[in-house]
Amino acid sequence: GGGGGSASEHRASGSAAAASSRFGAIARKKKPDFEQLEMKLTDDELYAVEAQRPMEDDEAIFSEEVPLDQQRYSMFDKFRPRKPRYFNRIHTAFDWNKYNQTHYDHDNPPPKTVSGYKFNIFYPDLIDKTKTPVFQLLPGDHPDECTIRFSAGPPYEDIAFKIA
């Protein structure tokens, strides 16, 4: 009986060694460079990747666009102006201030508050690719609101969002 056990142990350890060397080779492969991959994707593919990314518990879609006054640029004579594509997210979190600590607990949490914004704005067809898009914070209608305005240059129109 002892010889059969050692043969089966030998086979098991032999297959385990083969499996570990096979998977060891996979584990040693270089991880993909996502920045390199993103550089190779088209605008539509980048937008689709961002749109299909699952929402985290503290995220929601944010797309409250603010209408801007019509602007007239000389570039519009040559290039048809268009709004850039975007996919924005809002991050929320619990604010555990003294009031909320007194009146709420982890089983009954306070309402979530906005903790940040993430703006993904796509400008694939910029005429001057050396000019970085810029943003401005403009005062809003109420003291606790403002408008963030993004400008990239031709052929894109400016785009703005109201944030609080």
Q: Helix, strand, coil % (nearest 5) of the chain?
A: 35, 25, 40
Question: In Å, what is the CA distance from 116 to each residue of 49, 88, 101, 112, 119?
Answer: 21, 11, 22, 12, 10
pLDDT on residue 11: 42
Backbone φ, ψ for residue 150 (5° rounding): -110, 135
pLDDT for the residue numbered 38: 52
Mean pLDDT of the chain: 74
Mean pLDDT of 9-38: 45
pLDDT tens figures, 92-104: 999 999 999 999 9
Q: Is the per-residue pLDDT at 140 higher than 50?
A: yes
Question: What per-residue confidence (pLDDT) applies to 74?
Answer: 55
13-27, 65-79, 98-112, 126-140: least confident range? 13-27
pLDDT at 6 over 50: no
Q: What is the pTM of this model?
A: 0.56
